[in-house]
Amino acid sequence: MNLAERKLIDLQSCVEFMQRHNHLIRVKSEVDPDLELAGIARKFEGGKAVLFENVKGRDYPVLVGLYWNRDFLAKFFQTTSARLPFALADDIRAWRRNPVEPIIAKQGPANEVIENDLDLSTLPIPRHAEGDGGPYLTSSVVIAKDPDTGVRNLSIHRMMVTGKNRFTMLLEELGHVMDYFKRAEARGQALELTVNNGVDYALSMAAASPASAAPIEMDEIGIACQMHGAPVRLIEAQTVDVEAIADAQFVIEGKILPNVREPEGPYAEVTGYYAGVEARWVFEVSAITRRRAPIFHSILSGKEVYNAYGLIAGAGAFDKVHSLVPEVTAVHFSDGSVPYHLVVQIDKKHEGSQRNAIMAAFVSLAFVKTVTVVDTDVDPYSVTDVEWAVQTRCRFDRDILHIPDAIGHRLNPMVENDKWERLGIDATVPLPREDKYKRATMRNVNLDDFDIEGA
């Protein structure tokens, strides 16, 4: 995949790029990072990105919305919205075949300034939702190293600031960082990390790639190298033996403490519900470095997480489902489904392949709750079109597959004892296709052939 421009490897150039393409809103008023900033950002969710130039009591601007518009993400990667998951899947495959190593230097933009005072409250870290337990780092890319092999890992975690040099964080049960930490803790050791705030799309996508797409013995940073078409630049950290991203805005260095847990939460999650307070992992800060003029990056729980995770997970899902059922032509996590609803488009050659596609999706994706299969004359990216297919092509007495007591996703409030049910919806037209299912079409005209005013 090609970035629109090779130099789009830091937030400053992304901001310029968005400005040039009329995709940036600038908030000039002073805005409180406590609830007000996110409240304003929410009003623009899904449209242009928002740059808060004047954050109350802080010295740096905040960018929100870098990922929340899928069409703009596609523009950035010089492809179309519909092609984006396939392009990402191509990059992951290319990376697995031939991983490109990053370059490591001592100095880079992200350590132009080394802070003397370790005080997270000087950073413009917003508190997003009413009821959230504190300010949260939401988009920062964490780098860790396997305590046995030294292989690097990229990941994204929610992190709640609990003190000047301390935050609590969530480690996903199946994530590689959890695996690293368990092994470190068993030896009574801490796990060192760098927390890199304000990185480009490629690094965020690489960090969001699920463990199923990026095995534990491989360093996800290679995915970003692949997307950049060049090695990513890393810098050595000041206080830990883990590298940081040279073009990041801020780097927070430190370690997850062994045998220590402190309360984290509540936090308004991507599900639209609050994750409750629980004793979770504790990170102690040992250094903060930054650019001379950094832009703090934050993402809102919602469309942005959906785009960052949903896109890369969709890319991986297409790879797997297509390999099992080659008639599958596209997959998409339905907008608003968090992503629990996978829409599968199929060029059905044999009656019954669509049922195999449903089973393939369930086996390939541990947390998908609903799978809907549609024909190639239905746009899988359009909720409206999928709805049309379900209401005009699915016979509810025969075309619904129901799987009780499947493993559920813990963030979802419906899960009980780690279980929920799964639903397959076959919204494809039965073969042989009767004429009554032929979709109405209008003539495909070229607007350039007509003199049109006001369009």
Task: Kindly list the residues in this chain that would bind Mn ion in the complex (CB under 5 A).
Answer: 153, 176, 214
Residue number with CB closer to Mn ion (61 or 222): 222
Residue number with CB closer to Mn ion (24 or 144): 144
Q: Pick from 341, 327, 433, 350: which is nearest to 386 by CA? A: 341
Specify whether the backbone of 108 is left (phi greater than 0), alpha (psi in -120 to 50) or beta: beta
Residue number with CB closer to Mn ion (212 or 329): 212
Residue number with CB closer to Mn ion (186 or 216): 216
State the nearest-atom distance from the C-beta of 142 to Mn ion, in Å: 11
Q: Pick from 348, 358, 379: which is nearest to 426 by CA? A: 358
Residue number with CB closer to Mn ion (87 or 214): 214
Does the bond joining 432 to the residue before it have cis omega, within 30 degrees of 0? yes
> Which runs of consecutive H residues, i.e. helices, occur in 132-216?
176-186, 201-208
State the nearest-atom distance from the C-beta of 187 to Mn ion, in Å: 21
User: How far apart (Å, rounded) are the C-alpha atoms in residues 197 and 66?
Assistant: 13
Place of tokens 């079109």: 385
State the nearest-atom distance from the C-beta of 392 to Mn ion, in Å: 43
State the nearest-atom distance from the C-beta of 151 to Mn ion, in Å: 8
Residue number with CB closer to Mn ion (145 or 228): 145
CA angle (77 as vertex; 205, 245 as ends), nearest 5: 45
Residue number with CB closer to Mn ion (155 or 249): 155
State the nearest-atom distance from the C-beta of 147 to Mn ion, in Å: 14
Residue number with CB closer to Mn ion (37 or 156): 156
Residue 71: how many other CB atoms lie within 10 Å: 11
364 burial (CB, 10 Å; 0-12 / 13-18 / 19+) is buried
Specify whether the backbone of 373 is left (phi greater than 0), alpha (psi in -120 to 50) or beta: beta
State the nearest-atom distance from the C-beta of 170 to Mn ion, in Å: 16
352 burial (CB, 10 Å; 0-12 / 13-18 / 19+) is exposed
Residue number of the CB atom closest to Mn ion? 176
Q: Pick from 70, 13, 12: which is nearest to 4 by CA? A: 13
Residue number with CB closer to Mn ion (192 or 426): 192
DSSP strands (E only) in 18-135: 24-31, 49-55, 62-64, 103-105, 113-114
Inter-residue contact 142 to 196 (CB < 8 Å): yes
Inter-residue contact 125 to 244 (CB < 8 Å): no
346: Cβ contacts below 8 Å, ≥ 6 apart: 325, 327, 328, 329, 353, 354, 357, 373, 374, 375, 376, 428
User: How far apart (Å, rounded) are the C-alpha atoms in residues 155 and 363?
Assistant: 24
State the nearest-atom distance from the C-beta of 212 to Mn ion, in Å: 10
Residue number with CB closer to Mn ion (145 or 348): 145
